[in-house]
Amino acid sequence: MLEKRVKNLEAVLQAFIKELQKTIRVEKVYVYGSYAQQKEHDYSDIDVAVISPDFEGGTERDYLILGHAAIKVCSLIEAKPYRPQDLMNLSPTEFLGMIVKTGKVIFDKAA
C-alpha cells in the first residue's frame, strides 16, 4: 500500500541517510521537487539526490543500493545516485544543476 504524505520529513530523510551509510559513504543529500518547495500533496514522492564516491555513475547497482535503503525507511522515497565529480562544471539546464539550484541540502558531510 502506498503511504500518504510524510508528516516528519526530516526524520524520514535522516533515517534514509543512516540506512545508506551502512552500505556507502554519503557526502551530500539534496531533497528537491514538491517536498523541497513545500508543495507536496497526498502520495507525493520524496525526490532525493544522493552524492557518493561509491556510486558508479547511475548503474543498476547504484539504484539497488538506493532502493533497498528506501524500502526499509519509506516507500515514497525516489532517490537518484550521483558522484562527487558529477557536481563539477554543472550547467543550470542539466537535471543535477536544477537540483542543486532549486533543491535543499539536507546532509553535507563537509559541514
In this structure, is residue 20 part of a structural domain?
A: no
In this structure, is residue 96 part of a structural domain?
A: yes
- Quote the distance between the C-alpha of residue 62 and its chain's center: 12
Q: Pairing state of beta strands 77-82 and 46-51? A: parallel
In this structure, is residue 4 part of a structural domain?
A: no
What is d(CA 8, CA 74) in angstroms, rounded to the nearest whole number? 11
For residue range 82-109, what is the model confidence (pLDDT) as tens digits?
999 999 988 878 999 999 999 999 999 9
- The whole-number pLDDT of residue 1 equals 42
What is d(CA 111, CA 49) in angstroms, rounded to the nearest whole number? 17
Instruction: Count how many domains the chain has.
Output: 1
Domain of 73? 26-108
- Element of type H or E holding 15: helix 9-20
- The whole-number pLDDT of residue 63 equals 98
Other Cβ atoms less than 10 A from the Cβ of 83: the count is: 17
In this structure, is residue 8 part of a structural domain?
A: no
What is d(CA 62, CA 54) in angstroms, rounded to the nearest whole number? 8
In this structure, is residue 99 part of a structural domain?
A: yes
Task: Answer yes or no: is pLDDT of 7 > 80.
Answer: no
In this structure, is residue 13 part of a structural domain?
A: no
CATH, residue 78 = 3.30.460.10
For residue range 17-71, what is the model confidence (pLDDT) as tens digits?
999 999 999 999 999 999 899 898 877 899 999 999 999 999 999 999 999 999 9
In this structure, is residue 21 part of a structural domain?
A: no
In this structure, is residue 41 part of a structural domain?
A: yes
